[in-house]
Amino acid sequence: MRIAIDAMGGDFGVDVTVPAAIQSLIHNVSIEQILLFGDKPDIQSCLNASSLLQASPQLLDRLSIVHSDHVVDMSAKPADVLRQRQDTSMLLALNAVADGVADACVTAGNTGALVGLARHSCGLVEGIKRLAICAQLPTSLSNTFLLDVGGNVDCSGEQLHQFARMGCALVNALNGRDEKVSSQPRVRALSIGTEAGKGNSAVNAAVQLCEADSQMHFEGLIEGNQLLEGVCDVIFCDGFVGNIALKSCEGAASYIRSSAHELLKSESALSLNDDYARLMQAIDPEQFNGAVLLGLKQPVIKSHGSSGANGFAAAIQKAVDASEGQLIEKLEFALH
């Protein structure tokens, strides 16, 4: 298993991606090689600074650096990035999986640019109407995946139904399930009520398709307040709704976090400080980091741009699991 990493992507670049790569090599013996794409001197100085590498220099045999002069700016317009087609660390990492040099690609870079470049580099699985981004919801109650969260606005019922099928393929891949023999993932449609017909027109159309789909274990509608309850494996919606729902959860969590900080300042409650840290650790979204671009011919994982090393390592783990679980074969099977 070889993983291509865009070392320059995200808010923190090499300071996060390089330590995460080293961490992953230690914990995953199934990773033969990690290819770090980016500025060679920057990457090298991070490697030199790693105490883990000093303790285990043999890890260096499983690391290689592929230099690139260019980086996709986090605020660059996707259209500009696609037009320029520079040899950025992101594009070179994508090309590595497209060319079979690596088995999966991980980046924390500019999402819009990634979607465009990945589509072009890796190509879409036959029959895919739209690429979807599938995020794992930050719930420890169960593993629930939400798609699309990437911005496919104004989707048809048919497209939503396809998202549901792709989500099932991902869950089967990550769980190492064979969809021909084992139980199917439980699927729900995100909506504003749980009774039949409580969707908008696209959701109502998708529900009909899912109910008629003998390959799918469809359990009906789900509301926004149930997203983190872990009641099903796959929740589908269009990218406009999914993006807003996911970010609303994140915004609420960060509001509660900052309220607690405010309280701490005024109360100087050291006890809360400790217990609060434990609470925040228990609900830390980093452990669920790593959204999967579904519909591509190769596994491509998008880490949150502001993720730390533990979060980026979780994204690398998703890449390993998706590849080992034969995501692409399962996608092709789900869509044939």
> Interface with a second copy by CB under 8 A: which residues?
139-140, 151, 153-154, 190-193, 198-201, 223-229, 237, 239-241, 243-256, 259-260, 262-263, 267, 269, 271-272, 275-276, 278-279, 282-283
- Whether the Cβ atoms of residue 108 and residue 309 lie closer than 8 Å to each other: no
DSSP 51-94: HHHHH-GGGGGGEEEEE-SB---TT--HHHHHHH---BHHHHHH
Other C-beta atoms lying within 10 Å of the C-beta of residue 15: 15
SS3 label, residue 66: strand
Q: Which is closer to a second copy, CB of 139 or CB of 143?
A: 139
**Smallest distance from the beta carbon of 308 to a second copy, in angstroms?**
18
Q: Which is closer to a second copy, CB of 15 or CB of 229?
A: 229
The alpha carbon of residue 190 and the mean position of all alpha carbons in its chain are separated, in whole angstroms, by 19
Beta bridge partners of 145: 136, 234
Q: Which is closer to a second copy, CB of 46 or CB of 81?
A: 81
Cα–Cα dist 292/136, whole Å: 9
- Whether the Cβ atoms of residue 20 and residue 6 lie closer than 8 Å to each other: no
**Smallest distance from the beta carbon of 247 to a second copy, in angstroms?**
3
**Smallest distance from the beta carbon of 186 to a second copy, in angstroms?**
18
**Smallest distance from the beta carbon of 190 to a second copy, in angstroms?**
6
- The phi and psi torsions of 5 (rounded to 5 degrees) equal -120, 130
Q: Which is closer to a second copy, CB of 161 or CB of 304?
A: 304
- Whether the Cβ atoms of residue 3 and residue 102 lie closer than 8 Å to each other: yes
Q: Which is closer to a second copy, CB of 74 or CB of 283?
A: 283
**Smallest distance from the beta carbon of 237 to a second copy, in angstroms?**
8
Cα–Cα dist 106/126, whole Å: 23
Q: Which is closer to a second copy, CB of 203 or CB of 296?
A: 203
Can you state the angle between helices 270-282 and 239-267, rounded to 10 degrees? 160
Amino acid symbol at 221: L
**Smallest distance from the beta carbon of 276 to a second copy, in angstroms?**
8
